Structure 1
Amino acid sequence: MKKRIKQFFLFFGIFSLSIWGGFHLFFWIDTQEEKRLVIKNIEFPRLSTKEVEKLQEGDIILRRGYGFFSDIIADKLNGDSYDVTHSGILYRKDNQWWVIHSLSSNVSPIEGVQTQSLQMFLKYSIPGKILIVRLNKITPSQGREIIKRAQYYLQKKVSFDHLGIIDDPSELYCSELIYQIIDNDLHFVNFPTEKKARKETFYSMKTLYNPQYFKIIINTYPKKKERP
């Protein structure tokens, strides 16, 4: 009996280790492919000088990233017009544009909320697939409040929300960071309160370019041809 128990725990340990190893191996392979594509497309422009001049602090940047999980987000969490997969909050530091965003340590050297130069952030975007949006009727002062709140989560080193538990600021995924700030923290927008509708709002990239809440300031997506 004891021998069987030992065999069971040995088998379970090997099985768990195999799952863990396979999981991390998959992310490693996916990250290597992302790096390859970043280098391949490094010379392609993302935002022009005129477009950068339109930016305001507190604007939201959306990009279509590389990789398997970006493909899933692009397909499942968007509408027909755009396939963005990641988001961040723009702010100025030392006369340069920076982005506060949240990433998992499975795809980033840093876990959770972090800051990155806009230049570096753009390198991880597929060329021709970037949106800059601005909260409707927002003032420059409110934009700075958004940044201040984002910096609060940055300083707290809030981890990435792998489980997707909304309305809990102890862990935040990329778009959840934005929703948490503009709804729960600052009350600049009132998202649905009914449980199902709220989940649909939070578990979607479409919310970030929904004209009910945001205005698209910059759109680098190719213009769709009108049907004859």
Structure 2
Amino acid sequence: MEMKPHVALLKITLLFTLILAGCQGSPDKKARLLQLPQELFRDGDIAFRRGTGITSRVVLAADREGTYSHTGILKKKDGQWYVIHAVPGEPDFKDDPDRVKMETIEVFFEERKAINGAIMRIAEDSASAYRAAVRAERLYHAHVLFDHDYNLADTTRMYCTELVDFVYKKQGIDLPEGRISHVNIPGFKGDYLLPNDIAQSKRLCLIYYF
């Protein structure tokens, strides 16, 4: 069935209007300026964020009780705080593969990447937390790729929660405490370790959130 020319033009105009409106946002909205209490942070603290992209929406659709869609681990280097995390779809250069990254905490919590976020800490075990952060940095330097199969049994590649869980388990600390999310949505079906499975740990205490 053919569409009348004026109807087709109207639909195309409406489509482009919606696209432009979605891209431009509100002109009165001020850019967010985070004042991170970096003097409170320690090596091994765990960073959580609720992202803005499609992957974040999928994670939150799978975990309706969860607040955050992504996580990483803090490490201080040369006076600057970094977050080490495994992430897809955030290349730093052309042909940059999905991998374990180490980027400043300011970049990790950029407005375009994070709607809100938090820093949590393992209570009363700063030595183990430090060693977990050191191991995470080794994974970054080893160029470990992102685990698109989301397979916890294979640690040659890692996804975000897998990385945090792995480095802490090496210190004898079980953050998920047996929790695992059973997911059944289009494109994802199976058992996955989601950020909320870690955030619920009884050993974690909240240091900062926005």
Name the TM-score, length of structure 2 as normaliser. 0.71
1:206 is matched with 196
Shift in Å, 1:43: 2.7
Residue 172 of structure 2 corresponds to residue 187 of structure 1: yes
**Structure 1 unaligned runs (5+)?**
1-34, 221-228
Q: Which amino acid aligns with 2:100?
A: V
For the aligned residue pairs, the C-alpha RMSD in angstroms reads: 2.7
Alignment of 1:1-228 (within 5 A): 43-46=31-34, 48-49=35-36, 51-79=37-65, 82=67, 84-104=68-88, 106-109=89-92, 110=96, 111-123=98-110, 124-127=112-115, 129-139=116-126, 141-183=127-169, 185-189=170-174, 191=176, 198=180, 203-220=193-210
1:32 is matched with none
SS of match in other structure, 1:43: coil
Shift in Å, 1:190: 6.6
Distance in 2, matches of 1:42 and 1:208, equals 33
Shift in Å, 1:108: 2.4
User: After the TM superposition, which segments of 4 or more aligned residues of structure 1 sit over 4 Å from their partners?
Assistant: 190-193, 197-202
Structure 2 contact 43–133 (Cα < 8 Å) conserved: yes
Compare the two structures and name the one with the higher strand fraction: 2
Structure 1 contact 60–133 (Cα < 8 Å) conserved: yes
Percent identity for Structure 1 against Structure 2: 21
1:5 is matched with none
Compare the two structures and name the one with the higher helix fraction: 1
Equivalent pairs counted in the alignment come to 173
Distance in 1, matches of 2:76 and 2:29, equals 26
Shift in Å, 1:65: 1.2
Name the TM-score, length of structure 1 as normaliser. 0.66
Structure 2 contact 43–76 (Cα < 8 Å) conserved: yes
**Structure 2 unaligned runs (5+)?**
1-22, 183-190
